[in-house]
Amino acid sequence: MNALNIERQRNESLLRTGALQTAILTSPNFSIIATDEKGIIQLFNVGAERMLGYLATEVVNQASPSDMHDPEEVLARAATLSKELATAIAPGFEALAFKASRGIEDTYELTYIRKNGTRFPALVSITALRDDYSEIIGYLLIGTDNTVRKQFESDLTNAKAIAEKASLAKSTFLSQMSHELRTPLNAVLGFAQVIESGTPLPTPSQKRSLDQILKAGWYLLELINEILDLSRIESGKLTLSREPISLNLIMIECQAMIEPQAQRRGIGMTFPRFDTPKFVLADRTRLKQVLINLLFNAIKYNKPGGTVVVDCIAVSPSSVRISIRDTGEGLPPEKLEQLFQPFNRLGKDAGIEEGTGIGLVVAKQLVELMHGIIGVESTVGAGTVFWVELSLCDPPQLADARDESTMFYRPSAQAGAPLRTLLYVEDNPANLQLVEELIARRPDLRLLSAADGSLGIALAREFVPEVILMDINLPGTNGIDVMKILRADPATAHIPIVAISANVIPSDIKKGLEAGFFRYLTKPIVVNEFMDTLSVALEFAAARAGNRARKD
């Protein structure tokens, strides 16, 4: 009885195996082709008939799978394998079976050509069939129609190209928008600063109006910068310079910038003091941007009479945590999860506090670009603490000597000093008028102006000014090309040229400085920065003139 059961189970197993083999060979979804050792087709299943349009009787013992492939692709495969394996491989079935014949697992993508001449991409796996003595007796090729995957890849490539084109268009638009907004904003902020610091001083009523103009102008500039930063980060075009930065100095600078805001709102602030200097690897400008953003939020969303406490604590021998703790309302867990989403102001959209909701997004991206970590903890009713962790590093090594072109001078105009000439190449009348009013404060200076590059070159050659101020986006020849022309002329090559431009993207600034500008100022002009840069350029010009005179 047991023997009968065993025999019955054996027969059932054989039947199941036979059924599986039949199902595989008759599957319409896979082309299964078996050849002899020379590559002549011996088996051509239903799937192969469906895919390729041939009947098995038309190809068995008559054709090779290579006859059904794109001949140019087979030729290219033979050439590629010949180069890869350093041996001559003939086009045809040998090119298809060479790797399999050496026991190498092989799956290739080639185009199949149907009996009716139509084509489709196929993914084919080829394996050598061997007898009991490991001699090759044939090859098995199992193929699938790869049209859907290829179409998906094509669609994905097209979608990526469209997305990249859209991203480029967005970046171009934002860059142009920034320039177009900065140009009138330069006049608004520039003239407001001139009036604020001019003689006679504004009346109290005028001062209040000027404060509102300046507040709104600088806030608009901040929004423009935030949107540009987010766009550059998303497109991968924002570059940072990680170098040793003194936390001591960063804290002093942040305190000087933020404490007036806190005092106006009645918020007390505490900043750390360091027993020993601490340095972190970061981009100086971007680190200040992150900290100022976090500090301003801590003030903005604090309670009346609240406090902000800033701490710097080493969390390991190699890293430090900068924490900013406020005593505001605090946030529940569900809102904490939304903090770093762009344009999400957590329901504050209709509130009295201004903002775009992208400052924290930019801060997070910047910290991560500096290889740091940013986080937040909050308790409803008790306040919120934002923290940033950065890598500690050794202090920078200072050079023994400085090139004269990088030294920073802060001279002031002296009464009776010889009259020196400046040339400003600028096509915008408001920007020109602003600089004219600033230069009028220096009795030792006279200003020439040119509305385009050609006139600027002519005036520079005729009057040889001590310093040239140059807009970038000029009609006709742009400011960079004008500067290069002047640099190539021995009569004007020595003149320091300062760029004043609304092109504020770091790559634009880098391009300008690498092209040869002495300094690069961005619009809107900050009066103190402009006057300091002008003094530096004048002193540099005087030092260079002295050197030339001694050589002569």
Q: Provide, rounded to the nearest whole percent, the portion of the chain with pLDDT above 90.
A: 37
Q: Which of 360-364, 368-372, 469-473 has the lowest mean pLDDT?
A: 360-364
Q: What are phi and psi of 101, to 5 degrees?
A: -65, -20
pLDDT at 405 over 60: no
Q: Are 388 and 374 in contact (CB under 8 A)?
A: yes
Place 375 in a pLDDT band, splitting at 50, 70 and 90: very high
Structure confidence by residue, pLDDT tens digits, 7-55 = 566 655 545 555 555 656 666 678 899 999 999 999 999 889 999 999 9
- Report the pLDDT value the prediction gives residue 141, as an integer from 0 to 100: 92
Q: Which of 83-92, 100-109, 320-329, 406-415 has the lowest mean pLDDT?
A: 406-415
- Report the pLDDT value the prediction gives residue 399, as an integer from 0 to 100: 36
Token pair in block for residue 280 = 């972190």
> Higher confidence at residue 365 or residue 385?
385
Structure confidence by residue, pLDDT tens digits, 67-90 = 999 999 999 999 988 888 888 888
Q: Are 423 and 460 in contact (CB under 8 A)?
A: yes
* 242 three-class SS: coil
- Short-list 372, 323, 380, 322, CA closest to 346: 380
Helices within 370-451 (DSSP H only): 429-439
- Report the pLDDT value the prediction gives residue 327, as an integer from 0 to 100: 94
Q: DSSP assignment, residue 492?
A: T
Q: Are 63 and 52 in contact (CB under 8 A)?
A: no
pLDDT at 219 over 90: no
Q: Which of 109-113, 126-130, 202-206, 492-496 has the lowest mean pLDDT?
A: 202-206
Tokens 């300094």, residue located: 519
- Report the pLDDT value the prediction gives residue 5, as an integer from 0 to 100: 63
- Report the pLDDT value the prediction gives residue 544, as an integer from 0 to 100: 85
- Report the pLDDT value the prediction gives residue 417, as an integer from 0 to 100: 59
Q: Which residues pair with residue 500 across a beta bridge? A: 521
Q: How far apart are CA 310 and CA 380, in angstroms?
A: 20
pLDDT at 394 over 60: yes
What is the pTM assigned to this prediction? 0.45
**Which residues neighbour 412 within 8 Å (Cβ) at sequence distance 6 or greater?**
535
Helices within 453-526 (DSSP H only): 453-463, 479-488, 506-515
> Higher confidence at residue 235 or residue 123?
123
- Report the pLDDT value the prediction gives residue 23, as an integer from 0 to 100: 57
Average pLDDT of the segment spanning 455-471? 93
- Short-list 55, 364, 89, CA closest to 230: 364
Please give the single-letter amino acid code of residue 227: I
Helices within 53-146 (DSSP H only): 56-59, 71-85, 93-101
- Report the pLDDT value the prediction gives residue 337, as an integer from 0 to 100: 76
Q: How far apart are CA 532 and CA 527, in angstroms?
A: 9
> CA-CA distances (angstroms) from residue 240 to 216, 222, 243, 283?
29, 19, 9, 6
Q: What are phi and psi of 379, to 5 degrees?
A: -130, 125
- Please name the helix (run of DSSP H) or strand (run of DSSP E) that holds residue 550, with its range, or none: helix 527-551
Tokens 């600063």, residue located: 193
Helices within 339-394 (DSSP H only): 359-369
Helices 359-369 and 204-234: angle between axes, nearest 10 degrees = 50
- Domains in the chain (CATH in brackets) are 18-145 (3.30.450.20), 160-234 (1.10.287), 243-393 (3.30.565.10), 404-551 (3.40.50.2300)
> CA-CA distances (angstroms) from residue 439 to 420, 436, 456, 467?
11, 5, 18, 12
- Report the pLDDT value the prediction gives residue 508, as an integer from 0 to 100: 84
pLDDT at 3 over 80: no
Q: Which residues pair with residue 311 across a beta bridge? A: 323
> Higher confidence at residue 95 or residue 476?
95
Please give the single-letter amino acid code of residue 501: S
Burial class of residue 205 in the structure, from the number of CB atoms within 10 Å of its CB (0-12 exposed, 13-18 middle, 19+ buried): exposed
- Report the pLDDT value the prediction gives residue 268, as an integer from 0 to 100: 94
Q: How far apart are CA 386 and CA 374, in angstroms?
A: 7
**Average pLDDT score over the chain:** 82
pLDDT at 235 over 70: no
Structure confidence by residue, pLDDT tens digits, 123-166 = 999 999 998 888 999 999 999 888 888 888 888 888 888 877 77
- Please name the helix (run of DSSP H) or strand (run of DSSP E) that holds residue 248, with its range, or none: helix 247-264
Structure confidence by residue, pLDDT tens digits, 311-343 = 999 999 999 999 999 999 988 888 887 777 655
* Number of other CB atoms surrounding residue 45 within 10 Å: 20
Q: How far apart are CA 63 and CA 58, in angstroms?
A: 8
Q: What are phi and psi of 462, to 5 degrees?
A: -80, -45
CA–chain centroid gap for 264, Å, is: 37
Tokens 């601490």, residue located: 278
pLDDT at 425 over 50: yes
Q: How far apart are CA 332 and CA 236, in angstroms?
A: 33
Place 534 in a pLDDT band, splitting at 50, 70 and 90: very high
Helices 71-85 and 93-101: angle between axes, nearest 10 degrees = 40
Q: DSSP assignment, residue 434?
A: H
Place 112 in a pLDDT band, splitting at 50, 70 and 90: very high
Burial class of residue 221 in the structure, from the number of CB atoms within 10 Å of its CB (0-12 exposed, 13-18 middle, 19+ buried): buried
> CA-CA distances (angstroms) from residue 108 to 66, 150, 339?
13, 14, 48
Length of the chain: 552
Q: What share of the chain is helix, strand, coil (3-state, %, to 5)?
A: 50, 20, 30
Rounded to 5°, the CA angle 346-226-302 comes to 45
Q: Which of 37-51, 93-107, 217-231, 481-495 has the lowest mean pLDDT?
A: 217-231
> Higher confidence at residue 274 or residue 6?
274
Q: Are 237 and 507 in contact (CB under 8 A)?
A: yes
Q: How far apart are CA 283 and CA 241, in angstroms?
A: 5
Q: Quick one: CA torsion of 74, 80, 83, 85, rounded to 10 degrees?
A: -80
Q: Are 124 and 95 in contact (CB under 8 A)?
A: no
Token pair in block for residue 120 = 């489709």
- Report the pLDDT value the prediction gives residue 15, as an integer from 0 to 100: 53
> CA-CA distances (angstroms) from residue 11 to 7, 14, 21, 112, 504?
6, 5, 15, 40, 82
Please give the single-letter amino acid code of residue 416: G
- Report the pLDDT value the prediction gives residue 422, as an integer from 0 to 100: 95
- Report the pLDDT value the prediction gives residue 526, as an integer from 0 to 100: 86
Q: Quick one: CA torsion of 500, 518, 495, 424, rounded to 10 degrees?
A: 10
